[in-house]
Amino acid sequence: MKIVSAEYIISAVGQAQYPEGQLPELAFGGRSNVGKSSLINKILNRKSLARTSQRPGKTQYLNFYFINENFYFVDLPGYGFAKVPKDIKAQWGKMIEGYLKSRENLKAVIQLVDIRHEPSAEDVMMYQWLKHFEIPTVVVATKADKISRGNIQKHTKIVRNKLNMPKDEVLQIFSAETGQGKDELWDIITGYING
């Protein structure tokens, strides 16, 4: 897809702040430090539209990005080992759940997992939760450049088994460093936007 425009719109905490209208939205979720911001920047050909941080847990709101004046990307707060107080984590949980369960514009969730590691308990919980509520989900295994090509198949099998993914479900390999998987991911995203 040719990216003509991509702009940050708002950091929302609730429904009253979501953009108005019926344009499609794709949400990006995953544990802190899985590379959500890097992936968003890479597929949009932007260096720093989504802010990356050395400190996990920096995204604390639902960040909306308006793409090609046609659809939105929504960057969800990361889950996992973010060093934030429990009450804040609980607020994030409610905020994310409220968005995912109630937003009619939401076409799919891109769930990111780190290909180098077995999916965490939070990854499994998120995947099962999305499946339970029948929210279309695409699993993307990030940081593919950090393991040898010969080990990709072994690692993808671990991810599939841990998440208990159906055989026919796509597990997209991705690297924000090399751009591996970028075109394939755009094909998937375009299918949901136009679907």
Low-confidence residues of the chain: pLDDT under 50 = 53-58
Q: What contacts 162, CB < 8 A, 6 or more positions away?
A: 118, 119, 123, 124
Residue 12, CA distances (Å) to 3, 7, 98, 169 in order? 24, 15, 12, 31
Q: Supply the pLDDT for residue 59.
A: 57
Q: Give the model confidence (pLDDT) of 103-137 as tens digits.
A: 999 999 999 999 999 999 999 999 999 999 999 99
pLDDT (tens digit per residue) in 155-170: 999 999 999 999 999 9
Q: In the chain, where are the structural domains located? A: 6-194
What local confidence, expressed as pLDDT, does residue 82 receive?
53
CA distance 36 to 75: 7
How much is the pTM?
0.91
Tell me, what's the pLDDT at 7?
93
CATH code that applies to domain 6-194: 3.40.50.300
